[in-house]
Structure 1
Amino acid sequence: MSSVVITGASRGIGRFAAQYLAIHPSHTHMVLLNRRTPVGLVDELRATGVDVSVIRVDLSSVRSVAQATDEAADAVRSGRIPPIRTLVCNAGVQHTTALTETVDGLEETFAVNVLANHLLLSGLRAHLTSQARVVVTVSDTHFGDLRHNLGMVSGPRWRPVETLARVGAFPNAGSVRAGRTAYSTSKLAAIHLVHEHARRFPDGPTVLAFNPGFVPGTDLARDADALSRFAMRRVMPALTLTPLATSPARAGRLLADAASGATAAPSGAYIDRDRAAPSSPESYDPGREHQAWAAIETLIAEACNRPAASDPPRT
């Protein structure tokens, strides 16, 4: 008996992934971390025979994520949910500027796509089974080239985490370009953290970065202008008939395969849709990864008004 904890399951690829994971024979309990209770999805999952719990969380608020993490940990300790075999950090945001500020005074793209994932993994590590897999949804936009982003998303521009986590980290911060740069940079940061988690904890869990490819038809572009939203939802889905794009249903299945172990990969790997592959050359930087970890721990501690976590030995 084991449980799945998943963010971003109410729509898009996360919803399809949750449906696939619910029928995996080792999973008996699904824990949805969501801003609101997705009633329809809860009913669908329970119809497969699994138990379902919903923990309310605002992933843009560090304190809210910390409280949700504590609630999930308490549920495991008390036996209300089985030990966690699968943690899927799938939720993500992309804004049209780099100026969206959270209640903690942080830039929201970085807060949701990076800080929330790190806090969930760090807080739940002790409650994962020995064979647990953790999957963080990332993006091939972190390569920053035409082949991977089709010219639609600006490539990453690395800065110290203390800068990236605040609004206005990029030139012309109120522009669409800056918003997209914030997105690709946050996905690069997420891959850095996957590497660092795998390096610091070689005995488990298996921590993976998953790239679904370009997935039109989801709500990731919900904050874009009307023309861009129309193109993403009505025009670009035709690209899923080509190798250039992935449908939400297929991306959800691939995410479930990465999370369940159907796609084999060692801890720290980057899964490009259905196989392990190298991430960008820039994404392999142990020094940067170590610095990012320390800075993120400090940001989380400041937001939660608590001491920063101790820095364990690196192997």
Structure 2
Amino acid sequence: MKHTIVMTGASRGIGRVAAESILRRSPDTHLLVVARGSSGAQLAAELGAGGHTVSPVSADLASLATVRSAADEIRDRLERGDVPPLRGFVGNAGIQYVNALTEAPDGFEATFAVNVLANHLFVRLLQDRFVAPARIVITASDTHFGDFKHNMGMVPGPAWKSPDVLVRTGAFPKPDTQAAGRTAYSTSKLAAIYLVHEYARRLPAGIDAVAYNPGFVPGTGLTRDAGPVSRFAMRRVMPALALTPFATGRGVAGRCLADVVLGTTEAPTGSYVDRGRVDRSSQESYDPRREGELWEAVERFTSVYAAGAAPASRN
């Protein structure tokens, strides 16, 4: 049956591999790729080569105003019947900055805006347009464990604080340093898992929410804002780690993401999928009090942009 999947972060890295795999394995998919400016049209043309159905939707994920516009466009196209029923949302886009001082256009700390708020706003604005069975997949990260086993000491673990602190710049010590930027990243990924748990509780039956961990994937664009030495290491040196158990190649990670999106990897709502299997996320990531607090906060942060969104009650 023809259906629509909305996807962010499809232009490079694991997202590009996943998008190509989804289209190849599920030819009835109409893929709506969310990208900035004119880059979306080129991406759609490249992914659509060979007869696949791909359309661009313009948004800068750091700007919640443009996320709202993108969601409105998607809703309008669904209502007009220009695209088939909505069966999936893939929040794969993510960013890691070299500090914790970068401010998004709406005044929020940029890591939190892109990695948490943009996904949440898409989910809330599209939730009443999903047709069951549907699946929401949010790309997480094993950096949220905060231990050497999961990040080889390259990224500090999360440092949870009140969401009202996390959403603003300067939330972590020495906020002008790369360590602070990486802490903001791991903390945002912990927040993403908290929200997946809340989606599982609040969204209607038949709309599943799953967190996907690709593992450490060298050679992606995640560190594109890092210095030249770090970028060189990630592009040229770190990919060799994909040949070891410490890292995952882009091809493997992307195909595993496609498996989760298409349901080939069976995962009940609220699950954490570590590459190809359901697993437990960190002990810290199971905290109903924090989850409820975060839900209330992100609802407030996005309220001006989500006006008119359908309510999501906690079961």
Instruction: Give TM class, smaller chain.
Output: over 0.9
- Residues 11-30 of structure 1: pairs in structure 2 closer than 5 A: 11-25=12-26, 27-30=28-31
Tell me, yes or no, if structure 1 residue 5 matches structure 2 residue 6: yes
Aligned to 2:55: 53
8 A contact 1:3–1:30 mirrored in 2: yes
Counting only pairs closer than 5 Å after superposition, residues 122-137 of structure 1 correspond to structure 2 as 122-137=124-139
What 5-or-longer segments of structure 1 have no aligned partner? none
Identity %: 53
| Structure-2 change in CA distance of 1:60 and 1:139 (3 Å) | same
Q: What SS does the corresponding residue of 1:10 show, helix, strand or coil?
A: coil
Contact kept in structure 1, 2:203 and 2:313, CA below 8 Å: no
Q: In structure 1, what is the Cα distance between the partners aligned to 2:123 and 2:269?
A: 14
Give the Å deviation of 1:40. 4.8
- How far apart in 1 are the matches of 2:77 and 2:308? 24
What SS does structure 2 have at the residue aligned with 1:23? helix
What CA distance in whole angstroms lies between the structure 2 residues aligned with 1:150 and 1:261? 31
Is the 8 Å Cα contact of residues 210 and 270 (structure 1) preserved in structure 2? yes
| Structure 1 residue 76 displacement after superposition | 0.5
1:287 CA displacement: 1.4
* Whole-angstrom CA distance in 2 between matches of 1:28 and 1:276: 25
TM-score by length of 2: 0.96
1:278-297 map, 5 Å: 278-297=280-299
> Per the alignment, in what secondary structure is the counterpart of residue 25 of structure 2?
coil
Give the Cα–Cα distance (whole angstroms) in 2 for the partners of residues 188 and 271 of structure 1.
14
The CA deviation at 1:39 is 4.8
CA distance in 2, matches of 1:219, 1:147: 23
Candidates 220, 223, 233, aligned match of 1:221: 223
Which residue does the alignment assign to 1:211? 213
**Residue 149 of structure 1 is aligned with which of 151, 169, 192?**
151
- Partner residue in 2 for 1:62: 64
Q: Residues 113-140 of structure 1, C-alpha deviation per residue, up to 9 Å, x if partnerless?
A: 0000011111111111211111000100
What does residue 241 of structure 1 align with? 243
Give, in whole Å, the separation in 2 of the partners of 1:83 and 1:24: 18
Deviation of the 1:311 alpha carbon? 6.0
The structural deviation recorded for 1:312 is 4.2
* Counterpart AA for 2:195: L
Aligned pairs (5 A) from 1:124-203? 124-201=126-203, 203=205
Which structure 2 residue ranges, 5 or more long, are not aligned? none
CA distance in 2, matches of 1:228, 1:96: 10
Change (3 A) 1:39 1:123: closer
Secondary structure of residue in 1 paired with 2:20: helix
Poorly superposed stretches of 4+, deviation over 4 Å: 306-312
Separation in structure 2 between the aligned mates of residue 76 and residue 53 of structure 1, nearest angstrom: 13
